[in-house]
Structure 1
Amino acid sequence: MKFTLSALLFLLSCAQLFGQENACYENASGSYWPVKAGLKKTLTYGNNSYLASFKGDSVEFDGNYYLEETQTFSNGDVKARYWREENGAVYSWSQEKKIESLELPETHEVGTKWSSKDQEWTYEILSLTSTYSTPFCEFVDLLEVKTESSLRKGTVYNLFYKQGVGMVGLNVNGQPFSYIKPDRKVNEKSFIAYGCEDAGTSQEIDKCTNAKISQHIRENLKAPQSSVKGRILLNVRIDELGEVSEVTVLETVPGGEALEAEAIRVMSSLPKFIPAQVDDNQPIATNLKVPFRF
């Protein structure tokens, strides 16, 4: 059975904490989802990152006024999102569907449930005291919301909100996918495959590491005979020692158990890496997203 290995996605995840004063929004206070001109923050998003900023531009849709949030991605993409706050509740406007949906209710009680206007998304408040770790910060006392889409069966999203800041983390099926960066510049280095450390620039080192991982998969994967087709997405956790410590399935296809097992076996056998690092060469754990298309 043939398979295609899509581009590898790298995501640094919880490990050593970044303890510089106020780098982790320690003094922030206010609502869990602030909608206010002048606010800005940078978040990772898969293998990308984006700057989210409210510039104060107000736009009217269907009789309501929304603040425009500009999301400028590191790959050059720019997206506009529209939000408004009313009596503590936060609403979004979809330009594509021309509808408004509730994003966060006025009262925050565990067990509260709601749905988007088109019923595609469902939401539930799970906790007001959750924690979330990033390579830089340990956030506590967070509002945690679980959301699921009727178009993505089997995928669960957990969003974590800090008062005065907004979303600081997003997990997909229990694995980190997006997190907020500190409010000042820090140094990050991805994990490196041995033999790639002298490949040149950071981009060339990443390319070399990608190539070695892809080569390992091609040489070791023995895809079982199956009529199942589709995409399987794995999360490979590489610990502070540079070793694979866990492999989990983020996305799969019906009847794909044998394909999952083989993909997990191969990724679990990856050789040791030079671990990822942040500031002062502190080693940190890493999450590597690996999509397979069978």
Structure 2
Amino acid sequence: MKSIFTFFTLLICLPLFSQTEGQSFCSELENEDYFPLTIEKKKILWLDSYYFEEIIGSKEIKNKKYIEFAQNWKAGNAGSLLLREKNGVIYQYEKCCDTETIRFDSKFEKGKSWKTADKKSNYSIKSFNGKLKTPYCDYKNLLVIKGEFTNVTYFFYYKKGYGYIGATDDKNNLISCVSPEWNKK
């Protein structure tokens, strides 16, 4: 009898627990930054693949200390990203040009645009009230940055306290989002 009671208790409680986890994953963090550099690890879905992005250490380049993020893809390929913050500005070190590109400045306003260090891509602030629906969450109050690259345009979405949470193409099709399901393919 005890085992039947335990089974039904688990059956009832597990969905409630996962719903709480989902709400935590999706909730707003109003007093946080759009680009926190403290998130240890994320799973990011991209089209029909995914990658894990995680902090693996730091590197000093030209007397500036960067946090190094590894991006390990499902297929086994890997990349890295070097970011640092100073006075509310997030910088990305660009290996191509041996210099930095601004990823975001907390003083930027809607309409602000800037180019990457190699001058090949353009970014602009589209909104601070963006919305994005993913298979996991219905987000609102997001920073939306338009990225115009050589042959494609994306809209990147950032949530306060969590950073990057997804992207759409120029036709508003969801192409990427963060996932709380780390063990699923």
- Which has more radius of gyration? 1
1:225-267 deviation line (CA, Å, top 9, x unaligned): xxxxxxxxxxxxxxxxxxxxxxxxxxxxxxxxxxxxxxxxxxx
Q: Flag the structure with higher strand content.
A: 2
Shift of 1:120: 1.2
Task: Name the Cα RMSD after superposition.
Answer: 2.0
Kindly tell me the number of residue pairs found equivalent between the two proteins. Answer: 164
Name the CA distance, whole Å, in 2 between partners of 1:75 and 1:186.
Answer: 15
Instruction: Name the counterpart of 1:35.
Output: 37
Instruction: Name the counterpart of 1:237.
Output: none
Shift of 1:126: 0.9
Name the CA distance, whole Å, in 2 between partners of 1:75 and 1:97.
Answer: 28
Give the letter for the 2:131 counterpart. T
Listed as ranges, the gaps of 5+ residues in structure 2 are 1-17
TM-score by length of 1: 0.52
Give the letter for the 2:105 counterpart. P
The sequence identity of aligned pairs, in percent, is 24
Give the letter for the 1:20 counterpart. Q
Name the CA distance, whole Å, in 2 between partners of 1:27 and 1:142.
Answer: 9
Instruction: Name the counterpart of 2:5.
Output: none
Summarize the alignment of residues 15-94 of structure 1 with structure 2, pairs less than 5 Å apart. 20-23=19-22, 24-26=25-27, 28=29, 30-36=32-38, 39-55=40-56, 57-94=57-94
Summarize the alignment of residues 113-128 of structure 1 with structure 2, pairs less than 5 Å apart. 113-128=113-128
Aligned CA distance change for structure 1 residues 140 and 186 (closer, same or farther; 3 Å): farther
Instruction: Name the counterpart of 1:95.
Output: 95
Do residues 180 (structure 1) and 178 (structure 2) align?
A: yes
Instruction: Name the counterpart of 1:111.
Output: 111
SS across alignment from 2:135: coil
Q: 1:163 aligns with which of 160, 164, 167?
A: 160
Name the CA distance, whole Å, in 1 between partners of 2:78 and 2:161.
Answer: 24
TM-score by length of 2: 0.81
Aligned CA distance change for structure 1 residues 112 and 54 (closer, same or farther; 3 Å): same
Name the CA distance, whole Å, in 1 between partners of 2:43 and 2:81.
Answer: 15
Name the CA distance, whole Å, in 2 between partners of 1:49 and 1:99.
Answer: 28
Name the CA distance, whole Å, in 1 between partners of 2:28 and 2:131.
Answer: 17
Query: Which stretch of structure 1 is more off in the superposition, 163-172 or 89-98?
Result: 89-98
